[in-house]
Amino acid sequence: MLSFVAQRVVKGVIVLLAIVVLNFFLIRLAPGDPAAVMAGEAGASDQIFVKQLREKFGLDKPLPEQLFIYVKGVVTLDLGFSFRQQAPVAKLIGERLPATLLLTLTAFAISLIAGVLFGTFAARFAGTFLDTAITVFALIFYAMPIFWVALMGILLFSVTMDWLPSFGYETVGANLTGLAHAADVGAHLIMPAMTLGLFFMATYTRMTRASMLEVKRLDFVKTARAKGLSDAVIQRRHVLRNALLPVVTLAGVHAGTLIGGAVITETVFAWPGIGRLMYDALLQRDYNLLLGVFVTCSIMVLIFNLITDLVYRLVDPRIEFAS
């Protein structure tokens, strides 16, 4: 298993470098550079000002040299400096990463646990009212755009009922500590995590249901039943376990999508994560920061995928680690 992990890490590093190079060129394809943005905001621009800014950002150097400098930095774990925010990129990302991890992991847990649970119920009671109800709800959440669900949630739970805070990570100025602080953050987390989680939950529900119905028809389930095993044991140990493989695959793939969804969720709920940092960096053409966020997200996706591969083995011991 160790050699499997080592192999995946090496492959991951190569993929990461490819991502860095590709993104480096991609973001430079967009019209407008940081100097143009800053000159624009200053409400004044002249040749000296723009030239100074380009020099400051290192944009006056030839593109291959800029790439070389950047890649060299990444290899030595230096993500560069954001001249826009006047701080090292790693520091900026470090400040925001915990909030994003909290949001995405909570949303991920909600979606996966609830999704599999509802999917199992729907499959168990296929064709009944419960199945139809779950399917319809799943479809609704799957079809509704995240920002819309978010706004409706705010209207209902913040404006009308005043149950939950509408924005932010914590109550600003409350200076809470310990459990009170955790409860405060939790209250702020509920809506964004649910909003982000519901969309993915819907997918897992549908996937689990379909997959379980398929597995149920297979011969080994009949055998299990013929052996006289109880329905609960069959469902849990034979059907669900086999049906989970596609769900796990999907969850691994979703790691990246989840971060994409976090950009919108973080914006609507003013959640101080890296999704918003990425969005602002993009609008401001803050190249170093944007690349830094990409690198971070890529690492997260690679880690998620590695975990997915490991979970496969847990779910289905028949899968061997190729060495």
Partner 1 sequence: MGGVINAVIQPEPPGLMLAQIQNGPTQMVSGNIFEGLLRYSPKLEPLPELAESWSVSEDAKTYTFKLRKGVTWHDGKPFTAADVLFSIEMLKQTHARARNNLAQVDKVEAPDDYTVVFTLKQPFGPFLGIFEVGSMPMVPKHLYEGTDWKTNAYNNAPVGTGPFMFKEWQKGSFIRLVKNPNYYEKGKPYIDEIYWQIIPDAAARSVAYETGKVDVLPGGSVENFDVPRLSKLKDTCVTGAGWEFFSPLAWLWLNNRQGPLADKRVRQAIMFAIDRDFAKDVIWNGLGKVATGPSASTIKYYTADVPKYPYDPAKAKALLKEAGYKGEKIRLLPLAYGETWQRWGEAVKQNLMDVGMNIETIATDVAGGNQKIGDWDYDIAFTYLYQYGDPALGVGRNYVSSAIAKGQVFNNVEGYSNPEIDKLFADGAVATPDSKRKEIYEKAQKILVEDVPVAWMLELQFPTIMRCKVKNLITTGIGVNDGFKDAWLDK
**What residues make contact with partner 1 under the rule CB under 8 A?**
30-33, 36-50, 52, 56, 81, 83-87, 92, 95-96, 99, 151, 154-155, 158-159, 162, 165-170, 172-173, 267-273, 276-277, 279-280, 283-286
Distance CA 274, CA 98 (A): 9
Q: Which residue, 159 or 226, is less far from partner 1 as judged by CB?
A: 159
Tokens of 226: 């013929």
Owner of token pair 């298993």: 1
In the complex, least distance from residue 33 CB atom to partner 1, rounded to whole angstroms: 7
CA-based torsion, 68, 76, 98, 104: positive or negative: positive
**CB-CB contact of 184 with 171 (8 Å):** yes
In the complex, least distance from residue 194 CB atom to partner 1, rounded to whole angstroms: 16
Q: Which residue, 33 or 131, is less far from partner 1 as judged by CB?
A: 33
Q: Which residue, 172 or 322, is less far from partner 1 as judged by CB?
A: 172
Please provide the DSSP assignment of 146-184 as one string: HHHHHHHHIIIIIIIS--S-SSSSS-TT----HHHHHHH
What lies within 8 Å, CB to CB, of 5 at 6+ separation is 306, 310
In the complex, least distance from residue 96 CB atom to partner 1, rounded to whole angstroms: 6
In the complex, least distance from residue 276 CB atom to partner 1, rounded to whole angstroms: 6
Q: Which residue, 270 or 299, is less far from partner 1 as judged by CB?
A: 270
Q: Which residue, 9 or 42, is less far from partner 1 as judged by CB?
A: 42
**CB-CB contact of 298 with 19 (8 Å):** yes
Owner of token pair 């069959």: 234
In the complex, least distance from residue 191 CB atom to partner 1, rounded to whole angstroms: 11
